Each structure stands twice: as C-alpha cells, then as structure tokens.
C-alpha cells in the first residue's frame, strides 16, 4: 500500500458542520482504498481515537461492501458499540453475512437491552443459531420463550411499576433509582397487590402535584393492555392513538411482565409497513436489496408464475373469440383498456381494504352492508364516467379515422368498463376481508392476485359485451 499515504490524524467532521462534505469525502475515499487493499493496520491507525458516532456516520457513507469489511476490521469493542447504534434495517443488512462467531462476540459486548435489539434485527435462521450461545443475556433468552412476532418476544422486561398508595415523592425517588432506564421510561405503571396493572401516568405528571399526593389520584385508568401472546401488529394498533405510548404486557393471569417501548412500537409499525409494501408488489416479506440472485429468484418467481397462470387463462379466453376478432379487428385494440381498468380498480379497492384492516376495522354487521353499498355506488359511478369518456373518444375518433359502427363499438366498450370496474371494486374490497377472516394476511390479496383475477374477468366481460352489442 505504498501508493496510498494518509496522515494518521485524519478525522471525520460531524455532518452538522458546514465544512463536513468536502473534508469527509477525502476521508471516505482514503479509507475505501485502504479497505480494498485489506490494509487493516492503516485503517485502524486512522480510526484510532474516533468517536463511535463518527465511525457510524462513516460506515453508512461508505459503499455497502466496504462498510461490511470495515465492520470486520474494527476491534470487537468498537464494532459492537457502532453496531448497537445503527438503524435496525441497516444493521440487519450489514450483519447478514457476518459469521455466527463474530456476531456472538459483538452482541456479548453490548449492554443487555442493546444486545436484545440487535439480536431481534437478525434474520430468523441466524437468531436460531445464535440463541443458545447467548444464555448470559437475559432479555434474549426471555424473548425466545415466546412465539415469533408476539408482544412477549419484543417486550422489554424492565419497567417501573408502583403501588397506588405510593406518593408522588416516592415515585420520583423510584425513578431516580432507575436512572439507567430513564431514557426509555415514558410511562409509569400502577399495579395492585397481585401485580396487575390498574393505572398509568407520565413521569412529568409528578412535577404538577404535591409531593404527598398518592399515585391513585394521579394515574389514569384509561390505557391499553396487551397479552404476551398478542401479535406485535395488533399491539401496535392497540397503542395507536393512546395517551401512553409504552404498552404494558401481561401474562395469562393478567400480571404485568414487561412493556413495549415507544421505540419498539415505532419499529414494529415500520416493519409491518415495509412488509405490506413488499406484499403489495408481489415480493416475499423477507426480501432485501442485498439479496443474492438465487434468493431474488426464489422470492419473486412464485408470484410471477401466479401472474403467468392468470395471463394464460386470459389469453385462452381471447383465443376462444378468434372468429369475432377476425370480423372486427378493432376489438383487439380495446382489450388493454378494459384489462387495465379492471386491474387498477381492483387494486385501488384492495389497498383501501388492507389499510382499513391494518387500522383495526373489520366491518361487522351493518357496517359491512354500509361499506358494500358505498363501494358498489362508487364503482358504478367510476365505471359510468370512464365508459362515457371512452364512448366520447370513440365518436371523436370516428370523425378522423374510419371506424365501422362506432355507436355499437362505443356501447360495447363503455358497458364493459362499467361492468368490469364494478366487479373489480367489489372483489378488491372483499377478498382481503375474506382472507382476514380465514386467518390469512390480507396484504397477500393485493398485487398479483387481484390484478390477475380481474384481468381474466375483464377479458371475459369484454367479449361477452362485444358479442351482445357489436355483432
């Protein structure tokens, strides 16, 4: 590495300072070259004495492959501190190819709660391999006793809980005694004699009352509680709109066993949103931008094949109307229009349904009938407007181009749009609901499934309308 000579005191300028950009670019390029050359000694010499937050900024600015190599070069003590502060998604991606042994050493050096967070960001197969080696980290071992993606798995066992007869002054003393938790304590729970949560209050409420006031007079009894077996998405929904952002978790006997912190709830919401986005696009939920080619094929091909099956059926339907197409080739020109409208209408309706279900709506009883009426009316109006516009365009086009029987063509195409839009909207609205009732993730109803099914229906309806009105 003789061609690269860099000063040992090269430093990172914090991003908030105006001179950061140019100075840091030089550092990034220098370290990238040294990492590529595998000059570990030089890299460690440059980074010696850097603050962990500066190393973290450098890490996310480097090309991904170089960042992984840098993490491997850093001493375990520094690497573990940097790793614990990274954003969960980036942390999971950058550690994906780390050896189990190195990950174990890094996690063992972290504080228990940071170790717990880092562990949860790892892929399931890595967690299964690492779990037995992390017996000394109590939060990790405790979480592994619960089912995947449950409230018990993601909860923090440390919390502040006091009896209702305790005073505000005593509560302040308890919080001071739990100073190592202050960063995560935004809710204090009040428990009865058998450790069941009966109230909650925010620590700042203690500043507004006399020191001798009992907690029973301060606490609120209106707060959500979830069981340790509750799905993490349902737990996040329970906390949505609540006054208290930390969520108490109870066991089967209703006794307080932990809390889901604000940070964890935010993470769950982000994860579930990302998961639904992937499903909407017909991609498996564990897909990552860093996936290998075999994994890309494995994650996406099944959805593509499902779409291929639907497209094949649609093609066979078109083929069955070969004689009609020979008589009037112009009919073929409007097939994409009808299929596009059917797919888009179904996808719009299904996305709204999935969103409503994710927010906790399940449309029971009269609400279901009301929603059906709204969707039906909306679909009819949308289809009628789209059909009228298409008919107008056909009439306008017939003034310029030679079109055989434009009136019949306009009637056939506009009635097709009205029918397929209505059917697609109804199917898109209620298939997610049906899947949810069957215990299947409703997000799986969107994307390929809805689009493909409505394409088939759209083609069939189109040719039936053409047969009825055009011939």
- State which of 196-205, 293-302, 393-402 shows the largest mean pLDDT: 196-205
Average the pLDDT over each of 2-11, 194-203, 321-330, 395-404 and give the range with the smallest value: 2-11
- The overall average pLDDT reported for the chain is 77
CATH T-level assignment (fold) for domain 161-280:
CBS-domain (3.10.580)
pLDDT category at 307 given cuts 50, 70, 90 is low
Residue 347: pLDDT above 60?
yes
Question: What's the pTM?
Answer: 0.52
Per-residue pLDDT, 200: 93
Residue 371: pLDDT above 90?
no
For residue range 179-202, list pLDDT tens digits in order.
665 556 788 999 999 999 999 999
Q: In what order do the strands lie in the sheet with 188-191?
A: 161-162, 188-191, 197-201
Kindly report the CATH class assigned to 20-153. Answer: mainly alpha
CB 143 within 8 A of CB 178: no
More confident residue, 20 or 181: 181
CB 147 within 8 A of CB 232: no
Interatomic CA distance for residues 171 and 211, integer angstroms = 9
More confident residue, 172 or 138: 172
Quote the tokens at residue 217: 């007079």
Segment 413-424 shows an average pLDDT of 86
Ramachandran class of 115: left when φ > 0, alpha when ψ lies in -120 to 50, beta otherwise: alpha
Interatomic CA distance for residues 121 and 136, integer angstroms = 19
pLDDT category at 295 given cuts 50, 70, 90 is low
Per-residue pLDDT, 1: 42
DSSP structure string for 62-129 = S-HHHHHHHHHHS-HHHHHHHHHHS-HHHHHHHTTTS-HHHHHHHHHTS-HHHHHHHHHTS-HHHHHH
Residue 303: pLDDT above 80?
no
Q: In what order do the strands lie in the sheet with 226-227?
A: 226-227, 247-250, 256-260
pLDDT category at 359 given cuts 50, 70, 90 is low
Segment 102-124 shows an average pLDDT of 76
Residue 159: pLDDT above 80?
yes
Per-residue pLDDT, 15: 64
**Bridge partner list, 226:** 249
pLDDT category at 216 given cuts 50, 70, 90 is very high
Segment 95-106 shows an average pLDDT of 70
Per-residue pLDDT, 194: 94
SS (H, E, C) 229-242: CCEHHHHHHHHCCC
- State which of 187-196, 332-341, 448-457 shows the largest mean pLDDT: 187-196
pLDDT category at 2 given cuts 50, 70, 90 is very low
Residue ranges, comma separated, of all CATH 3.10.580.10 domains in the chain are 161-280
Distances (CA, A) of 438 to 236, 402, 432, 441: 22, 53, 10, 9
Per-residue pLDDT, 79: 77
Residue 213: pLDDT above 90?
yes
Per-residue pLDDT, 444: 59
Which residues contact residue 340 at a Cβ distance below 8 angstroms, ignoring those fewer than 6 apart? none
* Residue 207 three-state SS: helix
Interatomic CA distance for residues 313 and 458, integer angstroms = 12
Residue 445: pLDDT above 60?
no
CB 458 within 8 A of CB 341: yes
Segment 296-310 shows an average pLDDT of 67
Per-residue pLDDT, 192: 94
* H helix count then E strand count, the chain: 21, 6
Residue ranges, comma separated, of all CATH 1.25.60.10 domains in the chain are 20-153
Residue 91: pLDDT above 50?
yes
Residue 269: pLDDT above 60?
yes
More confident residue, 112 or 171: 171
Average the pLDDT over each of 31-45, 174-188, 396-410 and give the range with the smallest value: 174-188
Average the pLDDT over each of 62-71, 201-210, 237-246, 289-298 and give the range with the smallest value: 289-298
Interatomic CA distance for residues 468 and 471, integer angstroms = 7
pLDDT category at 250 given cuts 50, 70, 90 is very high
Segment 22-45 shows an average pLDDT of 82
State the sign of the Cα–Cα–Cα–Cα dihedral 360, 365, 367, 373: positive
CB 228 within 8 A of CB 175: no
Residue ranges, comma separated, of all CATH 1.10.357.20 domains in the chain are 293-469
Q: What CATH code is assigned to 293-469?
A: 1.10.357.20
Q: Is 221 exposed, middle or buried (0-12, 13-18, 19+ CB in 10 A)?
A: exposed
Per-residue pLDDT, 248: 93
């Amino acid at each position: 590495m003789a061609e690269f000579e860099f000063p040992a005191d090269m430093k990172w300028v914090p991003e908030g300072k105006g001179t950061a950009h140019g100075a840091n670019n030089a550092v990034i390029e220098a370290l990238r070259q040294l990492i590529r050359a595998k000059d570990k000694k030089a890299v460690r010499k440059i980074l010696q004495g850097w603050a962990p937050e500066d190393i973290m900024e450098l890490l996310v600015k480097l090309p991904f492959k170089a960042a992984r190599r840098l993490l491997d070069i850093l001493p375990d003590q520094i690497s573990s501190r940097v790793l614990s502060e990274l954003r969960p998604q980036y942390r999971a991606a950058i550690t994906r190819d780390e050896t189990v042994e190195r990950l174990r050493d890094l996690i063992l050096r972290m504080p228990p709660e940071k170790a717990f967070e880092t562990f949860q960001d790892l892929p399931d197969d890595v967690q299964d391999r690492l779990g037995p080696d992390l017996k000394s980290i109590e939060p990790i071992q405790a979480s592994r006793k619960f089912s995947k993606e449950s409230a018990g798995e993601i909860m923090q066992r440390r919390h502040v809980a006091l009896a209702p007869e305790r005073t505000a002054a005593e509560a302040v003393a308890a919080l001071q005694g739990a100073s190592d938790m202050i960063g995560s304590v935004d809710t204090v729970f009040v428990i009865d004699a058998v450790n069941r949560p009966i109230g909650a209050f925010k620590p700042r409420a203690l500043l507004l009352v006399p020191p001798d006031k009992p907690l029973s007079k301060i606490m609120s009894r209106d707060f959500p509680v979830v069981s340790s077996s509750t799905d993490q998405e349902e737990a996040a929904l329970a906390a949505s709109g609540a006054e208290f952002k930390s969520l108490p978790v109870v066991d089967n006997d209703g006794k307080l066993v932990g809390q889901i912190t604000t940070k964890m709830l935010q993470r769950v919401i982000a994860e579930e949103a990302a998961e639904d986005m992937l499903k909407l696009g017909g991609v498996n939920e564990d897909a990552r931008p860093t996936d290998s080619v075999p994994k890309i094929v494995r994650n996406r091909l099944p959805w593509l094949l499902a779409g291929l099956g639907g497209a094949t059926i649609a093609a066979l339907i078109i083929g069955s109307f070969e004689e009609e197409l020979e008589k009037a080739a112009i009919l073929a020109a409007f097939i994409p229009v009808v299929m596009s409208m059917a797919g888009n209408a179904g996808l719009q309706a299904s996305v709204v349904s999935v969103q409503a279900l994710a927010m906790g709506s399940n449309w029971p009883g009269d609400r279901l009938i009301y929603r059906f009426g709204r969707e039906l009316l909306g679909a009819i109006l949308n289809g009628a407007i789209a059909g009228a516009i298409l008919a107008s365009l056909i009439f306008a086009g017939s003034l310029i181009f030679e079109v055989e029987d434009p009136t019949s063509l306009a009637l056939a195409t506009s009635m097709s749009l009205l029918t397929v839009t209505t059917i697609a909207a109804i199917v898109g609205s209620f298939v997610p609901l049906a899947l949810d009732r069957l215990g299947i993730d409703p997000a799986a109803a969107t994307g390929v499934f809805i689009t493909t099914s409505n394409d088939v229906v759209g083609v069939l309806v189109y040719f039936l309308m053409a047969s009825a009105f055009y011939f």
